[in-house]
Amino acid sequence: MTDRIDERLVAIGERAKAAARKLAFAGTQAKNQALSAMAEALLAHKERILEANALDIKAAQEKGLRSSLVNRLLLTEKAIEGMSNALQEVVNLPDPVGGGEFWTRPNGLRIQKSRVPLGVIAMIYEARPNVTVDAAALCLKSGNACILRGGSEAIQSNIVLAEVIKEAAVRAGMPEGSIQLVTLTDREYVLQLMQMNKFIDVIIPRGGAGLIQSVLENSRIPVIETGTGLCHAFVHHKANLEQAVEIVFNSKTQNPGVCNSLETLLVEEAIAEDFLPLIGERFRRFGVEIRGCEKTTGIWSEAVRAKQEDWGTEYLDLVISVKVVKDLDEALDHIYQYGTKHSETIITEDYSAAQRFLNEIDAAAVYVNASTRFTDGNRFGFGAEIGISTQKLHARGPMALPELTTVKYTIYGNGQIV
Backbone conformation region of residue 40, classed left if phi is above 0, alpha if psi is from -120 to 50, else beta: alpha
Q: Report DSSP letters for 9-57, one per residue.
A: HHHHHHHHHHHHHHHTT--HHHHHHHHHHHHHHHHHTHHHHHHHHHHHH
- Whose CA is closest to 343, among 212, 251, 266? 251
Residue 27 is a binding residue for its own copies (CB under 8 A): no
Cβ distance 145 to 135 under 8 Å?
no
Residue 397 is a binding residue for its own copies (CB under 8 A): yes
Site string for its own copies, 263-302 (x = CB under 8 A): ----------------------------------------
Residue 338 is a binding residue for its own copies (CB under 8 A): no
Interface segment toward its own copies; rule CB under 8 A; list 148-156, 169-177, 220-228, 290-298: 220-228
Site string for its own copies, 117-156 (x = CB under 8 A): -xx-------------------------------------
Q: In what order do the strands lie in the sheet with 343-347?
A: 304-305, 289-292, 319-325, 262-268, 231-235, 343-347
Instruction: DSSP letter for 94, please.
Output: P
Interface segment toward its own copies; rule CB under 8 A; list 61-69, 176-184, 319-327, 405-413: 405-413
Residue 407 is a binding residue for its own copies (CB under 8 A): yes
Q: Which of 56, 134, 201, 263 binds its own copies (CB under 8 A)?
A: 201
When computed from its CA atoms, the radius of gyration of the chain, rounded to whole angstroms, is 24
Q: Which of 366, 386, 399, 401 binds its own copies (CB under 8 A)?
A: 366
Residue 362 is a binding residue for its own copies (CB under 8 A): yes
Residue 359 is a binding residue for its own copies (CB under 8 A): yes
Q: Which of 36, 88, 130, 391 binds its own copies (CB under 8 A)?
A: 391
Q: Report DSSP letters for 231-270, one per residue.
A: EEEEE-TTS-HHHHHHHHHHHHHSSTTSTTSEEEEEEEHH
Cβ distance 146 to 64 under 8 Å?
no
Virtual torsion, Cα 385, 390, 394, 400, nearest 10 deg: 10
Residue 307 is a binding residue for its own copies (CB under 8 A): no
Q: Which of 10, 88, 243, 282 binds its own copies (CB under 8 A)?
A: 243
* Orientation angle between helical segments 77-92 and 28-44, nearest 10 degrees: 170
Question: Cβ of residue 65: shortest distance to its own copies, in angstroms?
Answer: 27
Half-sphere exposure at residue 325, Cβ-oriented, CA atoms within 13 angstroms: 22
CB atoms closer than 10 angstroms to residue 31: 25
Considering beta carbons, is residue 242 or 309 the nearer one to its own copies? Answer: 242
Residue 371 is a binding residue for its own copies (CB under 8 A): yes
Residue 393 is a binding residue for its own copies (CB under 8 A): yes
Point out which residues bind its own copies (CB under 8 A): 21, 24-25, 103, 105, 109, 111, 116, 118-119, 201-202, 216-217, 220, 222-224, 240, 243, 246-247, 250-251, 254-255, 358-360, 362-371, 373-375, 379-381, 391-394, 396-397, 406-418
